[in-house]
């Protein structure tokens, strides 16, 4: 199965699309979102403004995904998705489902764009507080199911620290 796991900076990935763990404003923020907007330059913010104006005046709903240019980064597109905020979903199971949606809709968007490679950060496990062990299982299962149907897609998981990568690998062992 074409799933690769790395430690590094997602903004430097040479893939067709990188996924951004955005917030519903889609206008930038902290964490990986801030890194992506800094590395890609103002073109991304401009494209996000246009999306807010035309498609999502109220903001991007949790679990949805939309694409913009990647500006100056090596990737061609950024797929912005909004992960759930842990503790604000009503129930833990609903948080799981919203995280599944974020991964699935991002993968679907990558397909729609004609991409054959996509890189993900660990959505919701930073500022949004999703327990990383639990998020790892959800992410892995969702990507694995998708790859069964679309074996031509190459998925790269990029962790920012060795520690977060280790947690992911331990959590999916035996899954």
List active site positions.
Answer: 33
Closest approach of ligand ADP to the CB of residue 148, in Å: 26
Residues in region 75-134 near ligand ADP by CB under 6 A: 83, 121-128
- Its sign, for the CA torsion 118, 123, 125, 131, is negative
| Interface segment toward ligand ADP; rule CB under 6 A; list 9-17, 56-64, 145-153, 166-174 | 9-17
Residues in region 31-60 near ligand ADP by CB under 6 A: 31-33, 35
Question: In sequence order, which residues have a C-beta less than 8 Å from that of residue 145 and are 6 or more positions away?
Answer: none
Q: How far apart are CA 1 and CA 152, in angstroms?
A: 9
**Short-list 93, 90, 85, CA closest to 24:** 85
**Residue 6 pairs with which residues in a beta bridge?**
158
Does the protein bind ligand ADP through residue 63 (CB under 6 A)?
no
Closest approach of ligand ADP to the CB of residue 158, in Å: 5
Closest approach of ligand ADP to the CB of residue 93, in Å: 19
Q: How far apart are CA 3 and CA 160, in angstroms?
A: 17
Q: Contact positions toward ligand ADP, by CB under 6 A?
A: 9-11, 21, 31-33, 35, 83, 121-128, 158, 160, 164
């Amino acid at each position: 199965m074409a799933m690769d796991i790395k430690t590094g900076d997602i903004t430097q990935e040479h893939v067709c699309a990188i996924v951004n763990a955005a917030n519903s404003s889609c206008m930038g923020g902290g964490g990986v979102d801030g890194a992506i907007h800094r590395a890609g330059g103002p073109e991304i913010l401009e494209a996000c403004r246009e999306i807010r104006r035309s498609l999502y005046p109220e903001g991007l709903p949790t679990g949805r995904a939309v694409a913009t240019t990647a500006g100056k980064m090596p990737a061609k597109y950024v797929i912005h998705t909004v992960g759930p905020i842990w503790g604000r979903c009503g129930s833990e199971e609903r948080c799981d489902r919203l995280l599944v949606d974020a991964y699935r809709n991002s993968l679907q968007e990558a397909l729609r764009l004609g991409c054959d490679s996509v890189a993900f950060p660990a959505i919701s496990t930073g500022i949004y507080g999703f327990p990383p062990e639990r998020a790892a299982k959800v992410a892995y299962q969702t990507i694995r199911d998708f790859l069964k149907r679309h074996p031509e897609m190459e998925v790269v998981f990029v962790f920012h620290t060795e520690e977060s990568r280790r947690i992911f690998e331990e959590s999916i062992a035996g899954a």
